[in-house]
Chain A
Amino acid sequence: DTGVSQNPRHKITKRGQNVTFRCDPISEHNRLYWYRQTLGQGPEFLTYFQNEAQLEKSRLLSDRFSAERPKGSFSTLEIQRTEQGDSAMYLCASSFAPSTDTQYFGPGTRLTVL
């Protein structure tokens, strides 16, 4: 499978715990995006990488959220001290700039905070 992959697909955690999600983009893609989507809403931009550089982080993202993309390959999104309001689908997408801005989405990680 050469598409974007995300792990785990589902995560249930208790409030206050830390969670980490992984995204593996399409291999030649240099841009990687993280989004959060709740029921009935469109994906909400969280952060964006060009290669290993994190170029923008949403002002809506609290300090409990951090993302990394070491060596410009896979990326991780960590949420510290989870809250019930963090329950959502976390989507990763990748694209190859500048030849195309088509973002290919992964299947997402569904987080449930109890």
Chain B
Amino acid sequence: QKEVEQNSGPLSVPEGAIASLNCTYSDRGSQSFFWYRQYSGKSPELIMSIYSNGDKEDGRFTAQLNKASQYVSLLIRDSQPSDSATYLCAGSPNTGGFKTIFGAGTRLFVKA
């Protein structure tokens, strides 16, 4: 079992729709969770971090964490073609971001 699992996709949504990306993790000791966006040929960039159960919103992005279910999700509202990228879910055993474990990523396509 992989430590952080994501559906590889591709996930295809029309422009303006909500894109929902999901992630599960196996290490119950994980405390910090992150969503990174990675454009083709580029390095990852952080979109959201979340540490507590519940929702965290930042602009068009909402991260959701359920530690009991070991589940993390990212919602992208009003999806734009520029959101087309691979989204990486990552977890870390403590709030210091130490030894971050990444999932394989979900490819998102937003159709204009």
List chain A positions with a Cβ less than 8 A from chain B. Answer: 31, 33, 35, 40-45, 48, 55-56, 91, 95, 97-98, 101-108
Contact = CB atoms under 8 A, between A and B. Distances in A.
Contact of B100 (A33, A40, A98, A106): A33
Interface of B: 4, 8, 32, 42-46, 49, 88, 90, 92, 95-105
Contacts, number: 55
B100 A103 contact: yes
B104 A95 contact: no
Interface of B is mostly: loop
A106 B4 CA distance: 23
B44 to A, nearest CB: 5
B96 to A, nearest CB: 5
A101 B92 contact: yes
Nearest to B105: A42
A45 B100 contact: yes
B43 A91 contact: yes
A96 B80 CA distance: 32
A103 B99 contact: no
What 6 A-B pairs are tightest by C-beta distance, nearest first?
A101-B97, A42-B102, A105-B43, A43-B102, A42-B88, A42-B104
B8 A40 contact: yes
Contact of A101 (B43, B49, B88, B102): B49
A42 B107 CA distance: 12
Q: Which of B43, B44, B88, B100 has the most chain A CB atoms inside 10 A of its CB?
A: B43
B98 A102 contact: no
A41, A91, A103, A106: residue with the most chain B Cβ atoms closer than 10 Å: A103
Nearest to B94: A101
Given A40-B8, A40-B105, A102-B46, 6 more contacts: A42-B4, A42-B88, A43-B102, A91-B44, A95-B97, A101-B32
